[in-house]
Chains A and B, each alone.
Chain A
């Protein structure tokens, strides 16, 4: 306590700069007067009395220093002094200061930019209380190679009563719904959720309430919670919105609550995060299948909150035991060979999804750039050492301690790095709007990216750490001056620089190696991207546009005016007929959202049950099943290989038919003719609505594989069905021809709404755009890494230039003597270039080794190019060597043109 009090008083003295010096001086004067008087009384002469008094008092200066030390904070005072000195030193060499600060600003600014993306996505992916407790529950059937098959309601009840979770909810993955009754029918994203969903996330409504877990119904409970965005946009933030009725897909829902402005739904896609309506549902009654153990809720997600304090591993262990006992209890439902398992996945992980690897790669790349820029600055600091050798020697000769000198030099480099960090942050902050535009829209949590205090703290922390690490070595080397040698050499820099020059060469080799690693990564990514970009996708996206609409699907099927394919066909044929009359349109086709190439983030695969192949319940393979109109294949130029395409005679009343791609034929009928084979896309053999037996679907044609699911993978099985046999709600209308992309949306809206004014028309886009945005994350990371690699190359070039210039400068005398003795100028040039080449070779060798490790780590991000791709490695090495040679050429020329007489005279 007393120590603290003392410290606080000293701190306040330091801050207020109150000096007790005056007081001490007065006191000492009084003291001397008293003592002199006393001495006089003892009979001394006045002079002697005074002298004895001073002797008795002791060394006044030491007392003053002690007194001052007691009064203030010497450490901080020294620091301030060092800082002042450092500022003066930087001011004296503004060129050096500018280059160093700019280099650091580049490194730290870029690192901080990537960190801010990482911060919003990987580090804080869940904007909910206690996010670590939130998990996703996934059912797998590894025995039949099926993942994420969905949970069944009885299983959910088992989980709820297991004691592992606080609460367990089911949610949809975000789907379309039409909001009608406004000026224009609106297509919105909604999620069906169990009433406890918001309780699981731990978020309450800002207005009204969320669903009450107690009024759970088996089906829908006709209540809706809306987002703040929708509330403000469509309802002008009406405070009396509660209790109003919204017509969603022709059903009346009552608004019970508005979520807070900051609330965003969880999910890995921007679509899921932009959900604006939440409908309460029990998933256990119509229109959902009956709650049987065998009927899994395929495309639903289970989100739960663990009991507090329970680790995921412990919870998983409990869950495994539960699964084992359930398997024993219901052997019929869980056949041993399907190996049913239930997996807990941290919600944060599943939300970030596939973007993780790209972001880590980017952070690694930008980290290398930071490292290179720091090495460059360390190099500059060492170069300055030779210029300042004398100054340091003088200070040491005057009695400066070595630790004190290191502290001084470290203060200088810290100041440099902090200024650089602040500059980098300031640039980043002022350019943030522009930079955010470069980030692909498909990045999750794009809206959460911000340059916050946390990001500033990161930038400062990085500056301090980098300043300490990269300032310490130069400071250490600089303070090791050979005193006498340096002082004896009048006017010349220091010698004893052999050590420093070795340090500089090591730094440059490191820089070259790091930039080679970056360049190889960039090269491999570039080749992957290029290969993907140049790839024949197997369909022709040119001059094709897709426009989407959504047919309402009311809860009561009887109220659905587009319930059957026959009813829907009337609408679709009319829309297609009208579309073909639009200016420029040559062909038109229609398909569901799954049929939109590369444009859907949620394939919802269906179980494929093949006739004649024994399939127990829930062990069928899963297959994507787009629904298309007969013109689809011709419009997208997907060639038929065998059999026939759909035609206008394939109707709801005629036998069900399907077309598969080669991959499906290969996978499911290996070595057989798939034509004429029959399948069913349902695990149950009975129709839920009509309760008649489900008819078989016959395969009538095989088309060539196309990369409609993923550009990187051509072999994904597909099974197409006709929209005239199988109704679809989520529709994409495809148009080919000379189209005006800006006008199509309005033209189509007019045509569609002439047929049915309640249908929304949205998201008109060209397939070329869809294609290119499907590559956006790849393009983003490729461009960023390429930018970083170019920066690294530039910095490494500067580094090698600086080092060679320095070496040439060191060897001026030697070169001059050689020249004076008749050395060929060409030989001098070669000698210097050989130094540069030596550094480049060492750097390249190290870099290739590093690049081999890194390229294997990033193999998952590559496409069509091996991680050890020889042309990339060779090309990059050649480029690096060329840059190194070019950078050494200028100092080499200078060495060659050295005038021996002037050089030797100046020594």
Chain B
């Protein structure tokens, strides 16, 4: 089995953090559905890969989890962003925007712009 490239892992983590930041505490399926909704069919991720990632984030201290009840009274594990997670999200967002900006600049360069 090939491991997923790090970029994807990193982005997925960022998506999870952002989702929790926007929506507040969510259970696994909620996070998965939200990511799916936003990215549409462009990002075809097996929903299952989310769980090892959630565990990793929890080990790193970015998120915390506890059992709770869902809207329709199902028992589910709810994940929420911790203070450290929020800080991490901010830092990674900044980094991501920087990277994206640099890449964008490269794409916008035309042959005649070069000296």
Q: How far is the CB of B104 from chain A (nearest CB, A)?
A: 29
Q: A5-B61, A31-B32, A59-B46 are in contact. Are A67 and B55 (CB under 8 A)?
A: yes
Q: A30: nearest residue on chain B (CB-CB)?
A: B76
Interface residues in A57-76 by Cβ distance below 8 A to B read 57-60, 62-63, 66-67, 69-71
Cβ-defined contact, B29 with A35, below 8 A: yes
Complex Cα–Cα for A63 and B48 (A): 6
Cβ-defined contact, A10 with B59, below 8 A: yes
Q: How far is the CB of B69 from chain A (nearest CB, A)?
A: 11
Residues of the A chain whose Cβ atoms lie less than 8 Å from the Cβ of B52:
63, 66-67, 69-70
Q: Mark A1-39 against chain B: 1 for CB-CB distance below 8 A, else 0.
A: 010011001100000000010011011101101110110
Residues of the A chain whose Cβ atoms lie less than 8 Å from the Cβ of B48:
28, 57-60, 62-63
Complex Cα–Cα for A687 and B83 (A): 94
Residues of the A chain whose Cβ atoms lie less than 8 Å from the Cβ of B55:
20, 67, 70-71
Complex Cα–Cα for A9 and B58 (A): 10
Residues of the A chain whose Cβ atoms lie less than 8 Å from the Cβ of B70:
34
B18 close to A (CB within 8 Å):
no
Cβ-defined contact, B61 with A67, below 8 A: no
Complex Cα–Cα for A715 and B75 (A): 101
Q: Mark B29-58 against chain A: 1 for CB-CB distance below 8 A, else 0.
A: 110110000000000001111011001100
Residues of the B chain whose Cβ atoms lie less than 8 Å from the Cβ of A30:
27-29, 74-77
Cβ-defined contact, A67 with B46, below 8 A: no
Cβ-defined contact, B47 with A57, below 8 A: yes
B60 close to A (CB within 8 Å):
yes
Residues of the B chain whose Cβ atoms lie less than 8 Å from the Cβ of A58:
46-49
Q: How far is the CB of A33 from chain B (nearest CB, A)?
A: 7
Residues of the B chain whose Cβ atoms lie less than 8 Å from the Cβ of A63:
46, 48-49, 51-52
Complex Cα–Cα for A57 and B47 (A): 5
Q: A53: nearest residue on chain B (CB-CB)?
A: B47
Q: How far is the CB of A176 from chain B (nearest CB, A)?
A: 73
Residues of the B chain whose Cβ atoms lie less than 8 Å from the Cβ of A60:
48
B7 close to A (CB within 8 Å):
no
Q: How far is the CB of B86 from chain A (nearest CB, A)?
A: 14
Q: Mark A44-87 against chain B: 1 for CB-CB distance below 8 A, else 0.
A: 00000000000011111011001101110000000000000000
B1 close to A (CB within 8 Å):
yes
Residues of the A chain whose Cβ atoms lie less than 8 Å from the Cβ of B76:
27, 30, 34
Cβ-defined contact, B46 with A31, below 8 A: no
The contact of A34 among B46, B56, B60, B74, by CB within 8 Å, is B74
Cβ-defined contact, B32 with A5, below 8 A: no
Residues of the B chain whose Cβ atoms lie less than 8 Å from the Cβ of A38:
33
Q: How far is the CB of B34 from chain A (nearest CB, A)?
A: 12
Q: A2-B60, A66-B52 are in contact. Are A57 and B74 (CB under 8 A)?
A: no
Complex Cα–Cα for A24 and B58 (A): 14
Complex Cα–Cα for A426 and B59 (A): 43
Complex Cα–Cα for A297 and B34 (A): 95
Complex Cα–Cα for A219 and B74 (A): 99
Q: A24: nearest residue on chain B (CB-CB)?
A: B51
* Most chain A CB inside 10 Å of its own CB: which residue of B32, B51, B61: B51
State how many residues of chain B have any CB contact under 8 Å with chain A: 24
By secondary structure, the B interface counts as helix
Complex Cα–Cα for A67 and B32 (A): 17
Cβ-defined contact, A70 with B56, below 8 A: yes
Complex Cα–Cα for A27 and B51 (A): 9
Q: B76: nearest residue on chain A (CB-CB)?
A: A30
Residues of the B chain whose Cβ atoms lie less than 8 Å from the Cβ of A62:
1, 48
Interface residues in B61-79 by Cβ distance below 8 A to A read 61, 70, 72, 74-77
Q: How far is the CB of A22 from chain B (nearest CB, A)?
A: 12
Complex Cα–Cα for A891 and B72 (A): 82
Q: How far is the CB of B108 from chain A (nearest CB, A)?
A: 35
Cβ-defined contact, B47 with A70, below 8 A: no
Q: How far is the CB of B14 from chain A (nearest CB, A)?
A: 14
Cβ-defined contact, B47 with A56, below 8 A: yes
Cβ-defined contact, B60 with A31, below 8 A: no
* Most chain A CB inside 10 Å of its own CB: which residue of B48, B49, B72: B48
Residues of the A chain whose Cβ atoms lie less than 8 Å from the Cβ of B30:
34
Q: A24-B51, A56-B47, A57-B48 are in contact. Are A31 and B28 (CB under 8 A)?
A: yes
Complex Cα–Cα for A28 and B77 (A): 10
Complex Cα–Cα for A30 and B74 (A): 8
Residues of the A chain whose Cβ atoms lie less than 8 Å from the Cβ of B29:
30-31, 34-35
Q: A20: nearest residue on chain B (CB-CB)?
A: B55
Q: How far is the CB of B45 from chain A (nearest CB, A)?
A: 8
Complex Cα–Cα for A66 and B50 (A): 10
Interface residues in A756-789 by Cβ distance below 8 A to B read none
Q: How far is the CB of B107 from chain A (nearest CB, A)?
A: 32
Cβ-defined contact, A28 with B75, below 8 A: no
Complex Cα–Cα for A23 and B51 (A): 10
Residues of the B chain whose Cβ atoms lie less than 8 Å from the Cβ of A10:
59
Residues of the B chain whose Cβ atoms lie less than 8 Å from the Cβ of A24:
51
Residues of the A chain whose Cβ atoms lie less than 8 Å from the Cβ of B56:
6, 70
Cβ-defined contact, B59 with A70, below 8 A: yes
The contact of A6 among B1, B33, B49, B60, by CB within 8 Å, is B60
Q: How far is the CB of B55 from chain A (nearest CB, A)?
A: 5
Residues of the B chain whose Cβ atoms lie less than 8 Å from the Cβ of A34:
27, 29-30, 70, 74, 76
Residues of the A chain whose Cβ atoms lie less than 8 Å from the Cβ of B1:
62
Q: A54: nearest residue on chain B (CB-CB)?
A: B48
Cβ-defined contact, B59 with A5, below 8 A: yes
Residues of the A chain whose Cβ atoms lie less than 8 Å from the Cβ of B77:
23, 26-27, 30
Q: How far is the CB of B16 from chain A (nearest CB, A)?
A: 14
Q: A2: nearest residue on chain B (CB-CB)?
A: B60
Q: A57-B46, A58-B46 are in contact. Are A67 and B60 (CB under 8 A)?
A: no
Residues of the B chain whose Cβ atoms lie less than 8 Å from the Cβ of A57:
46-48
Q: B46: nearest residue on chain A (CB-CB)?
A: A58
Complex Cα–Cα for A57 and B61 (A): 25
Q: How far is the CB of A893 from chain B (nearest CB, A)?
A: 57
Cβ-defined contact, B47 with A31, below 8 A: yes
Q: How far is the CB of B71 from chain A (nearest CB, A)?
A: 11
Residues of the B chain whose Cβ atoms lie less than 8 Å from the Cβ of A20:
55
Q: A3: nearest residue on chain B (CB-CB)?
A: B60
Q: How far is the CB of A1 from chain B (nearest CB, A)?
A: 9
Complex Cα–Cα for A30 and B65 (A): 15
Cβ-defined contact, B47 with A2, below 8 A: no
The contact of B49 among A2, A37, A66, A71, by CB within 8 Å, is A66
* Those 9 A-B pairs whose CB atoms lie nearest each other, nearest first: A58-B46, A63-B48, A58-B48, A34-B29, A66-B52, A6-B59, A2-B60, A57-B48, A67-B52
15 A-B contact pairs sorted by A residue (CB < 8 Å)? A5-B61, A6-B59, A23-B77, A27-B28, A27-B51, A27-B77, A30-B77, A31-B32, A34-B27, A57-B46, A60-B48, A62-B1, A62-B48, A70-B52, A70-B55
Residues of chain A touching chain B, judged by Cβ–Cβ distance below 8 Å, are 2, 5-6, 9-10, 20, 23-24, 26-28, 30-31, 33-35, 37-38, 56-60, 62-63, 66-67, 69-71
Extra contacts, 12 of them, besides A26-B77, A37-B72, A70-B52 (Cβ < 8 A), are: A2-B61, A5-B61, A30-B27, A30-B29, A30-B76, A33-B74, A34-B27, A35-B29, A56-B46, A57-B47, A63-B51, A70-B56
